[in-house]
Structure formats: C-alpha cells, structure tokens
Amino acid sequence: MAPSIVLADADLDLAGYEAAGGYQALAKARAMTPAEVTEDLITSELRGRGGAFFPTGRKWSFVPSKEQLPKPHYLVVNADESEPGSFKDNEILSRVPHRFIEGCLITAHAVDCKHVFVYIRGEYSGPYEILVTALEELKDRPEIRGDVTIVVHRGAGAYICGEETALLESLEGKRGQPRSKPPFPAIAGLYAAPTVVNNVETITTVPPVIAMGGAEYAKLGVPNTRGSRVVSVSGNVVNGGNYEIEAGMSLRDIIFDLAGGIANGRQLKAVVPGGSSTVILRADEIDVGYDFDSLAELRTAMGSAGIVVLDDRCCIVELGIRFSEFYEHESCGKCTPCRVGTRWLTQIMRKLEAGDATQRDLDLLLDVCDRINGKCLCPLGDSDAIIIASYVDKFRDEFQQHIDLGRCPFGGHSSLHGVLAPVQQHAHHTVAEVRA
Amino acid sequence: MSDLYDRIQEERAKYPEGSQSAVLPALRLAQEEHGWLSPDVLREVADALELTPAYCESIAGFYDQFHTAPVGKHLVEVCTNVSCAVVGAQQVLEAFESGLGCRPGETSEDGEFTLRAVECLGGCGWATIVAIDDHYRTHVQPNDVPGIVEELKSGS
C-alpha cells in the first residue's frame, strides 16, 4: 500500500492542519536540543530529495557552531524545481504548505538559524501565492513562528539556479552562475555564512520524521533509500501525476499500476527515470526497484524523481536533440565545455536526424560528451553529456539507422518531430557551427 | 519619491543590510509596473537599489522572465519540453500561432499578445502546460486553444 507521509492531509488551511495534528512535530522538536533533532534525522536515514541524495541529518551536522564561527546561520530551501519531468515540489507547496512551513521551522531549530529563505522558481505563481497565504495565516501565531523569519524569494526563469551555489548567487542578487566548491555552503554559503540548502520535499518530510521518530521512519523503504518518495510521472501514460510511494517499489508498478500504463494502446519504448538528467532505461529494464541501489546497478538514479515515459513513436535522436536544446538554452555560460559543448551535441544530433551524418559524426558526438563530462563547475553540462552517451549506448542501432538510411527511420512521424525549442527562438548565435 | 521606489525599499528591508538580494524582486516589481525593462526603467531600479544601470541590465539579461524588449499585453507561454511535446505541445503552439496571429518569439501587430515556446514549466504530468500571464492552464489540447484565445481577446 502506498504511504501517505509527505502529501497526507492535503489542501488544508491552518485550522485544518492543526486539527489533523499539524505543528505538533514542531513542538516536539523544540522540546529537543538541536543536536537531538539532527541525530533523529541521521537515524531516519532521510536523504535529500532534490537529486543529489545527500544524507539530510549529516548535512545539518556540518554547520559549525556559533562559537566555532560567529556568523548567522541561514536555511535556504531550494524550490527552484525546473528539471524536465519533475513537478513534485509544485504539488507539495500547493497542497501541504503548512507541513512545508513546519519543516522549515524544525530545520531552523536544528541548525540554530533565524533566517529562512525559500527560493521558489519565478514561474510558480500558483504555489507562491498559496505559500504566502499560509505564511500570512501564521502572522498572529508567534508561538508557532518563534523568532524565525521566512522570506519567499522568487526566481526569474533560470534552470541553473536549482544548482545550490548558483541559487545562492542568485539569492545574493547576482547572475545565477555556480561557484567553485569548496568552500561548501555549510561553511560559507549565503552571504559567506554557514548555510543549509535543502529541497522542498526533504523539508516537508522532516515533520513526519520527527512525529514518528527517526527509527520508525527508517523502517519504511529499503536499505540506502528509506521512507517515502513523491514521484512525478509524465509522458505517454494514462494518468500522469504525482504519486507518493514507498521507496523500492518497482518502476514497472509505478508506470503500469499507479499511472495506468501506456496511453493510446501504444508500446513502451523507454523511461527516463529521475528527470531529464538521468541515464535512460529501455523497456526491458523497468523491472527494477525505485531506490538508489537498484537504479545504481543500472548506472542510473532517482534524481529528482521525474519519471518520463516514452512510447514507441519516440525517436531517440530527436529525444536527444530536445533535451540537449534544453541544456544548451540553460547553460549559464561560465564554463566553456558546457557552453560550447551542449550546442555541439545538439548540432551533431540535428545532422544525424537530417540524415546527413556519417560514422565520424557519431564518434564525434561521443567524443564531445567526453570533453564535457567532469570538466565544469556544476553538473549541467555533465547531464547533457551523460544522457546523450546513454542514448547512444542503449539505442545504438537507432542512431546507426539514421546514418545507414540517410534519414530518420520514423520519416517525420515520431512524437517529437518538429518541436520548437526555446533556444531556436533566439536570433543571435555566435558560436561556431558544426560543418557538414 | 515614486511608489516603485518605496516598494523596492520594502523589498530591500527583507534582506541583510548591504546585500543586493533585492535585485530580482525589484526588477519583477518594475516589470509588473512598466511591462518591460526599458533602459529608463533599469535606471530607475538601479537608483532605488544604489547599483549601476549596467549591473541591473546584466541581471535582467540573464533571467528568462525579464523582458528587455517590449512584449504584448498578454504573455502566452507554451512548454515544449519532452513531456509536453510527446503529447502534442507543438500542435498547441501552432494553434496559438494561428489564433493570436504571431509566431513563437514574436508579438502580435496590435501589441496585445506575445507568444513564446518555453522550457519545462514543472507541470509535466498535466501536459500540455500553457502559462498565460504567469498562470498555468493544464491538459491543454489544440482544440482548447480557440476558446482560450477568444477568452483573452474578449477580456482584453
């Protein structure tokens, strides 16, 4: 049975949330010392839900004490959800805003912080308004708010700001370009002060962890992936949407039971398991547990839990083009391999799709992937390189067909044919073209 | 002092003194008031923040939601990333193109509408997502578009 932990008691106002037991975990946490709260989170084995899967309690424990480093502490919540395929934070903020706020307040207590900044992507007007309304409900409730200030800071359209150091730059009023690490945010984050950066779902999981106790939470799920997970299912399925699952549930069951299977009587071709940045799975690879270890065996990951289901009308080369166009558009431009390389990947695949590519172009495609991967400050370019290499690895025959036939085997009938990407709307391109 | 100046100061007060964190909120306020961020508006924001206009322009240029050229009264943005695209986002975009009379990336001649293809809006399971003046419409199909266009034209 699917657990209801993060998304339980949805769509309630403050009174309803409190009637359902809301803000009692906060009271319980405040009766504990910050170290005890952090210890309970370590016991729960909760790991970050934004994509990097870092153990939450351990992250909190890295914040130096104010005696060690006399600076204010900051909690920054990453609500910049922009990974193609992922839309869980959108629903969490919209439907359980008070559990989210409660999580912010518990975390603030655990890391001894008075200032919380919620960096929400600029496009999320709906969740923003709901969150602000929920915060206003707490205006006359000082016993809940304590001495903590929560500022909701709106982004303005930049995928890269989901990367934590770019987010901090953006929050400081700069262009959202990643910093080099170290120093890590726990030591020198926002305004060069100790900063914890956590994802929305992670923060919203904190109250139930405290309420049930870390040890109880750790009984859910499988080793290395405890508890529940809100997965976003989209693409060619009957019932797209967010589903809260117990970690370890089979990917096949998520797609076929929860999401109702493949729409329009088509056949499953491939699944992007954890947002656009994760290695693709073929249809014969979905009998796998949706957890860290099981997916790692297939060299892929849960990422931000955006499961994109693709049916047999999808041309893998066009899939590569569309995702690569996304990374090209969203590259911040700071590191050359990413800025230039993502564009090269797009262009080489366009040449393949047009039927103009030779064997050398396929080699070049993989060579460019190698020249991006691991050579930049953040994982944006790496993501493009890794997924494109995985498409070639898993669907080499289809890439080869584009060369051998001198055209796309779908002949203009693939589900991604002729899609206009934003990057094509921009008139000025000054980077060198790949020659025919 | 102008109303915008005062509202920008309110934003500045939310952040530690000496920080320039209010740049994004200030640019958003200015854009809401003026429609787009012209050189004059950028100067006004810069003055209110005690920053240079060039700095404000460098920020406005980085973020996709800031307009450094005039846009229509209504902004229609269609997500064409993969999850929307595989269920027909391109057809939705094309329906808006004929309904609004402007191509993606352009503004209609009467200055009423700007149409844009945009990257993932974070509503993939409810595709196709169309943001109209920043508010999402979900499950949009090509045959829904004439009705939406009609609604926008009669309301404007």
B78 and B148 assigned to the same domain: yes
Q: Which residue of A has its CA nearest to B17?
A: A191
B57 and B85 assigned to the same domain: no
Q: Which of residues 30-59 of B touch A (CB under 8 A)?
A: 58-59
* pLDDT tier at A435, thresholds 50, 70, 90: low
Cβ(A162)–Cβ(A80) below 8 Å: yes
For residue B73, give every residue at least 6 positions away whose Cβ sits within 8 Å of its Cβ, in sequence order, or none.
B35, B111, B112, B113, B156
Which chain A residues have a beta carbon less than 8 Å from that of B17? none
Residue A341: the pLDDT is 98
Q: Which two tokens stand for residue B53?
A: 């206009």
Distance CA A272, CA A307 (A): 6
Asked whether residue B67 is assigned to any structural domain, the reply reads no
* pLDDT tier at A428, thresholds 50, 70, 90: very low
Per-residue pLDDT tens over the stretch A352-362: 999 999 999 99
Query: What mean pLDDT, rounded, does chain A reach?
Result: 96
B56 and B79 assigned to the same domain: no
3-state secondary structure of A59: helix
* pLDDT tier at B2, thresholds 50, 70, 90: confident
Contact B58/A308, CB-based, under 8 Å?
A: no
Contact A425/B117, CB-based, under 8 Å?
A: yes
**Global pTM value:** 0.97
Asked whether residue B94 is assigned to any structural domain, the reply reads yes
Distance CA A211, CA A268 (A): 40
DSSP track, chain B: --HHHHHHHHHHTTS-TT--TTHHHHHHHHHHHHSS--HHHHHHHHHHHTS-HHHHHHHHHHSTT--SS---SEEEEEE-SHHHHTTTHHHHHHHHHHHHT--TTEE-TTS-EEEEEES--S-GGGPSPEEETTEEE-S--GGGHHHHHHHHHHH-
* pLDDT tier at A429, thresholds 50, 70, 90: very low
Percent of chain A with pLDDT strictly greater than 90? 97
Give me the mean pLDDT over the A61-71 stretch.
96
Cβ(A153)–Cβ(A190) below 8 Å: no
B49 and B82 assigned to the same domain: no
Q: In sequence order, what are the beta bridge partners of A117?
A: A76, A151
**Which of A272, A419, A428 best probes binding to B when mutated, by most B CB atoms within 10 angstroms?**
A419
Contact A123/B134, CB-based, under 8 Å?
A: yes
Q: How many CA atoms lie within 13 A of B126 on its CB side?
A: 14
Counting Cβ atoms within 10 Å, is residue A24 exposed (0-12), middle (13-18) or buried (19+)?
middle
Residue B111: the pLDDT is 95
Counting Cβ atoms within 10 Å, is residue A18 exposed (0-12), middle (13-18) or buried (19+)?
middle
Q: How open is the CA angle A37-A203-B22, to the nearest 5 degrees?
A: 115
Buried b (16+ CB within 10 A) or exposed e, B91-108: bbbbbbbebbebebebbb
Q: Which domain holds residue B54?
A: 3-62
Asked whether residue B69 is assigned to any structural domain, the reply reads no
Give me the mean pLDDT over the B56-76 stretch.
97
Write the CATH number for B141. Answer: 3.40.30.10
Cβ(B28)–Cβ(A154) below 8 Å: yes
Distance CA A234, CA B67 (A): 30
Contact B90/A418, CB-based, under 8 Å?
A: yes
Total domains, chain B? 2
B55 and B108 assigned to the same domain: no
Q: Where are the domains of chain A?
A: 14-219, 222-311, 316-425
Asked whether residue B46 is assigned to any structural domain, the reply reads yes
Buried b (16+ CB within 10 A) or exposed e, A339-375: bbbbbbbbbbbbbbbeeebeeebbebbeebbeebbee
Q: Which residue of A has its CA nearest to B84?
A: A235
Contact A173/B87, CB-based, under 8 Å?
A: no
The architecture (CATH level 2) of A316-425 comes to Up-down Bundle (1.20)
* pLDDT tier at A430, thresholds 50, 70, 90: very low
Asked whether residue B119 is assigned to any structural domain, the reply reads yes
Q: Tell which residue, A271, A221, A275, A272, has the closest CA to residue A249.
A: A221
B10 and B52 assigned to the same domain: yes
Cβ(A242)–Cβ(A255) below 8 Å: no
Q: Which of residues 271-290 of A touch B (CB under 8 A)?
A: 272, 276
Contact B124/A122, CB-based, under 8 Å?
A: no
User: A14-219 and A222-311 share one CATH topology?
Assistant: no
Distance from CA of B153 to the nearest CA of A (A): 22
Per-residue pLDDT tens over the stretch A378-395: 999 999 999 999 999 999
B100 and B131 assigned to the same domain: yes
Per-residue pLDDT tens over the stretch A126-147: 999 999 999 999 999 999 999 9
DSSP annotation of A357 reads -
A14-219, what's its fold?
Answer: Rossmann fold (3.40.50)
**Which of B36, B119, B134 best probes binding to A when mutated, by most A CB atoms within 10 angstroms?**
B119
A31 touches chain B (CB under 8 A): no
Residue A427: the pLDDT is 55
B82 and B42 assigned to the same domain: no
3-state secondary structure of A367: helix
Residue A181: CB atoms within 10 A of its CB come to 12
Per-residue pLDDT tens over the stretch B69-122: 999 999 999 999 999 999 999 999 999 999 999 999 999 999 999 999 999 999
* pLDDT tier at B1, thresholds 50, 70, 90: low
Asked whether residue B68 is assigned to any structural domain, the reply reads no
Q: Last residue of some domain: B62, B90, B110?
A: B62
Distance from CA of B2 to the nearest CA of A (A): 22
B13 touches chain A (CB under 8 A): no
Asked whether residue B148 is assigned to any structural domain, the reply reads yes
User: What is the CATH number that goes with domain A222-311?
Assistant: 3.10.20.600
Is A436's pLDDT higher than 70? no
B53 and B86 assigned to the same domain: no
Contact B116/A422, CB-based, under 8 Å?
A: yes
Cβ(A226)–Cβ(A218) below 8 Å: yes
Q: Last residue of some domain: B18, B36, B62?
A: B62
Distance CA A96, CA A355 (A): 49
Per-residue pLDDT tens over the stretch B30-39: 999 999 999 9
Which chain B residues have a beta carbon less than 8 Å from that of A235? 82-83, 86-87, 124
B56 and B84 assigned to the same domain: no
* pLDDT tier at A2, thresholds 50, 70, 90: confident
Distance CA A335, CA A316 (A): 27
Q: How open is the CA angle A192-A193-A194, to the nearest 5 degrees?
A: 130
Asked whether residue B55 is assigned to any structural domain, the reply reads yes
Phi, psi of A3 (to 5 degrees): -75, 155
Counting Cβ atoms within 10 Å, is residue A238 exposed (0-12), middle (13-18) or buried (19+)?
middle
B96 and B141 assigned to the same domain: yes
Q: Which residue of A has its CA nearest to B90?
A: A419
Between A82, A124, A422, which is nearest B117 by CB? Answer: A422
Is A434's pLDDT higher than 80? no
B82 and B55 assigned to the same domain: no
Which chain B residues have a beta carbon less than 8 Å from that of A84? 81-83, 119-120, 124
Give me the mean pLDDT over the A72-88 stretch.
98
Per-residue pLDDT tens over the stretch A297-311: 999 999 999 999 999
